[in-house]
Amino acid sequence: MFIIVNIQISVSMYEIEVTALRKEYDNFIAVEALSFKIQKGEILGIVGPNGAGKTTTLKMLSGLVTPTQGSIKIQGMDIKKDTQKIKKKLGFLPEESPLYEGMTANDYLLFFAEIYGIEKKTAAERIKDLLNALRLDAGDKKIGEMSKGMQRKVAIARALINDPEYLVLDEMTSGLDPTTSKYLSDFVLELKRQGKTIVFSAHNLYQVESLCDRVLIMNKGKEIAIGTLPEIKKMCGAVQYTIEFEVEGAVDFKVVKNNGNLVAQTNSLDEFNMITGWVAKHNGKIIDIKTAETSLEEIFLKLMN
């Protein structure tokens, strides 16, 4: 006689799940009641003013800081219980990343590959691929003799030496010139195309807009807003409609003149429809219609006030 038991296994669709996260230092609350989820292959950007709790959050996601309360699950594993297993899948880039300045990039990366237990031949191939991908041709130059941009690339290569499944990057391009910053941003997009899950913080809001699938805005340790850029713009921003038209007679809404035409502006879709309908009803002619979305920077400044 066989007994059939129906066992249901729940598999989360999320790579990272953060629930009610809180971190206290003595009487100071660095992060409070923070919850979010990240899907595999997604890029989440965390933005906020200095002291918002961004770095503390990233360190907790990396297993470097233990939460006071709440939970972090990576691929279903609890970061408190399975810290070492998770760290093998992780690549972490701190904002300030001291390097061994007396070593070459190749020797430095070989050293960290040995720490991860990577076989020497595999490590050598991986280092070659990383240095090529990052356009880091340093030869026998010591790390201490390199520019800041080259040193940042070495630190990124170190974060990738174990071929991690997910990456935590704290201010990846801080202090770098625009060319290096743009290259590293493109490099992150390539990592996403490879299926890696990425969480990063940045003060460069243009970079966040161009890279992220979703954005978490923090202030004083708390979530202020989270979502895709269209979602955040819908919640916190506005679309400005500009209608340029010509019509005979007086109008009963606010307008300004531009080269003989009339121009009306509104943030309301209902009012936009009213204006265009009014122009059509009075045999007027629409010359031009423009829409302008609120930028992430404008939303950020609005939320911080």
Mean of pLDDT over the chain: 89
Evaluate whether 229 touches 91 at the Cβ level (below 8 Å).
no
41 & 69 share domain: yes
Q: Which residues pair with 242 in a beta bridge?
A: 265, 290
pLDDT digits (tens, 9 = 90+) for 213-244: 999 999 999 999 999 988 888 787 778 899 99
- Domain assignment present for residue 4? The answer is no
The whole-number pLDDT of residue 12 equals 56
Mean pLDDT of 238-264: 90
Helices and strands in the chain, H and E counts: 10, 14
164 & 242 share domain: no
Domain boundary (234, 262, 293) is at 234
Percentage of the residues of the chain whose pLDDT score is greater than 70? 96
155 & 73 share domain: yes
The pLDDT of residue 10 is above 60: no
The whole-number pLDDT of residue 4 equals 45
- Domain assignment present for residue 156? The answer is yes
- Domain assignment present for residue 296? The answer is yes
pLDDT digits (tens, 9 = 90+) for 76-106: 999 999 998 998 999 999 988 889 999 999 9
Torsion of CA 161, 162, 166, 168, to 10 degrees: -50
- Domain assignment present for residue 206? The answer is yes
pLDDT digits (tens, 9 = 90+) for 160-197: 999 999 999 999 988 888 888 999 999 999 999 999 99
Domain span at 128: 14-234
195 & 262 share domain: no
The whole-number pLDDT of residue 268 equals 85
Give 107's pLDDT tier (boundaries 50, 70, 90): very high
Task: Please give the single-letter amino acid code of residue 252.
Answer: D
Distance between CA atoms of residues 161 and 156, nearest Å: 9
Task: Of 132, 199, 212, 135, give the one whose Cα is nearest residue 165.
Answer: 199
Kindly report the CATH number assigned to the domain that includes residue 35.
3.40.50.300
Task: Of 179, 184, 227, 190, give the one whose Cα is nearest residue 202.
Answer: 184
Evaluate whether 146 touches 101 at the Cβ level (below 8 Å).
no
Evaluate whether 51 touches 206 at the Cβ level (below 8 Å).
no
Q: Pick the more confident residue, 187 or 305.
A: 187
83 φ, ψ to 5°? -55, -50
Give 72's pLDDT tier (boundaries 50, 70, 90): very high
Give 290's pLDDT tier (boundaries 50, 70, 90): very high
